[in-house]
Structure 1
């Protein structure tokens, strides 16, 4: 697939973002609750730049967030995947889904596939998740994935005055969990 791989899970298709995903990205960024821990509410002009950044990271660094497509409906429901921009506190698999997709296990399902990709294809030795302490649903997802709190770090620019709890695990721990 141009720009990156296509991954499938039982219920999801994960693919690099495309221009047609812009409306979904805008819906995610317009919802105060869904956008709270992923940069906050943003106007379409800012969302366009973020979409282009995510899509361009596939070319520049060989990894980035996937668009998450629900197989049953063909609808864009969020973005998740391997993320490691310059200055980031580690090799992250992160997620952000529309509220309509919450509580259905999609974040865990998609993140599991992205973590397989990060370990097996990208060769990452550690996977982290940058989560604010108040983001209890994401902490639960991280824990379902077998990650544990490793440390707290100040978020890099432009995320002023935010401290992230870093959840994560080694590639060996992830492989052992997958086998088990």
Structure 2
């Protein structure tokens, strides 16, 4: 899959949410449907901001993220905590990136690609999304993370999740954020607890009937 390319050179907009929300009219055609990618910066009605933490960069997705993201999604140790637990094929992984970028365009927030500041290695994603897969909790915004197994144990999920929560509460004005985690996923449960989310009950995924725990935090 090739991410949608820019039709012509465009102005780079990056940084605080005010700039991220600026209208960018660099792509020809109806701006409401325009979606451009210029060196990793999505140009549309909303431009993806870049967040920096002590060790990480949460940034827009790039074409060269597709291969390492596919490797991550094909890892059974990662996939077992997602959806039906099956590893994703390359085409499905690429399609997921497309859905993530569409979420940014439609909602004005979403999941960032996450890389290490030192060296720039892609480690996965973190951010905010509408949990459409679990209608019982809607309307809601979920904080989530998915990291390559080689980056586990470094506190990256907590660090990236904290940045995403701060953006959601302080910049987007969210009143509440949830997390959905399989009860057996003790690593992610610990991350949620470190981020201040509290267990509030268990639901079942409609697609698989698999139990999933709900954690919540208010602003």
Tell me which residue corresponds to 1:22.
66
1:55 aligns with 2:101: yes
Q: Which has the larger radius of gyration?
A: 2
- Paired residue total: 169
TM-score by length of 2: 0.73
- Superposed, 1:1-180 pairs within 5 Å as 1=14, 2=42, 3-39=47-83, 40-86=86-132, 88=134, 89=137, 90-156=140-206, 159-171=207-219
Deviation at 1:154, TM superposition (A): 2.1
CA contact (8 A) 2:133 2:205 kept: no
The structure whose residues are more often helix, as a share, is 1
How far apart, in 2, do the equivalents of 1:59 and 1:50 lie?
14
RMSD of aligned residue pairs (Cα, Å): 1.4
CA contact (8 A) 1:35 1:41 kept: yes
Give unpaired runs (5+ residues) of structure 1: 172-180
SS, match of residue 178 in structure 2: strand
- Structure number with greater CO (CA < 8 Å, separation at least 6) is 1
CA contact (8 A) 2:131 2:142 kept: no
Give unpaired runs (5+ residues) of structure 2: 1-13, 15-41
Deviation at 1:155, TM superposition (A): 2.5
SS, match of residue 82 in structure 2: coil
1:64-103 Cα deviation digits (max 9, x unpaired) = 1110010112010011100115464221100110011100
Inter-CA distance 53–76: structure 2 relative to 1 (3 Å threshold): same
1:81-131 Cα deviation digits (max 9, x unpaired) = 001154642211001100111000000000000000011112111111100
